[in-house]
Structure 1
């Protein structure tokens, strides 16, 4: 049995139509002589991060990072105690914070992420990810990667795919730990970014992070980011929310065999259950589009034997 047809590579997936759709796709595009054969150079698979590879409830992990940065920096900014969205962040008022929308999130990021070198920011991220705990599971965030998706990443690479993370999250927030957690090296991470400029500081060359948005790699930005950073159209795309809709459309609405897959959060006991009515990871338009385009929809409760490595 070839690696592409062996379900033993996906032990945390229950046998059924969902798992079989993945096995069939990989077998068809990797078998020489198959009408659906895809040369190794074109075997590009893109994965959203939050909600697809690891948890995104009760909030995006990078938002948790930004909230901790606000608390750490408040002594230097006493005005934040009476200014939104910082006031809500300090008080843990997630309802008010969610109501500030993208504008509020960007305000938090612009206040806490720039004003330092890229190396300094990387150290802050590495130190935080090593000690921060998810408020629901009380575990390090890096332990909350979905075991079935880790197996899928490895399975695709075994079959000649190059796997990329394509996230609305910050590219320099994800890169420091992505290889250790997902096996995805920094150069295969595509994400949102702020402006950075080269500066000589005390005779040393540095990349300095500026308080300006450079690129938002979400929604319609994802296909643009894929084109700019990867340069090849994916043949497989994996997401979980409306923020991944355009990436899934760009990947699957093209000639040749394609795979689009959506992780549907249906397991309130082992993780979280949500879709159309949520502030983080809303799955509404993309869920409707999945039926139209025949994308594979993972029912987390029924399709996954376990969700985390510690289950």
Structure 2
């Protein structure tokens, strides 16, 4: 449990048994009340070290969107209030990460956060984090905002999933997390698009395998380029434009949204200070 509330972790894996075992062994089993693994690929003998009841094996490949939904729905059915969703090329470096995400959500009120440091999109050329804004509550840096939405490690409150629903299953292996985060944004539980929330120093808590097209079992597939194009088409039909064409919100809108979210969901004991002190520091 985290903060006295039931906490669950869903994992989606596809044909990377060694990485799955590395992630599983890194989890704090004394903190997580529920662990549910959805295997969307082949079955490997090495899975035998994981208790059978923790693994749901898809009879056929369903894709990332449907597999993530299976994990999320199981955690909801088990009554989890704090819900984490992890892909198999992530591992935990510091088990306090689960408390850190919950605390950041409690302070800021933001109901959904994504680990920003997976891959290279939110990093400088030197590999350092490249946030676009820092958000403070009571003068303490609480969350950082990044330009790109990355879905390898995600935190959801139960409320965010019940209100926004699960992922659109039309997205097979691309953009499912971007679309889902946008749905949460539309319901005023996350800052505007292009300001994607993460905890401070998330890279100290979470590790990821060095990403490359050759390593990714999904992105390296022959059909992935077609799947991305199809995902962009579906996204455009649904939202009126491609993800890259969504407008960048002005600073005042970001500030107002953050204050609204904190007023609705943030810890009440810190509410007054967030309006009196500088809350948003735009880095660029």
Is the structural similarity TM-score above 0.5? no
Instruction: Normalising by structure 1, report the TM-score.
Output: 0.28
Instruction: Normalising by structure 2, report the TM-score.
Output: 0.30
Structure (1 or 2) with the greater helix fraction: 1
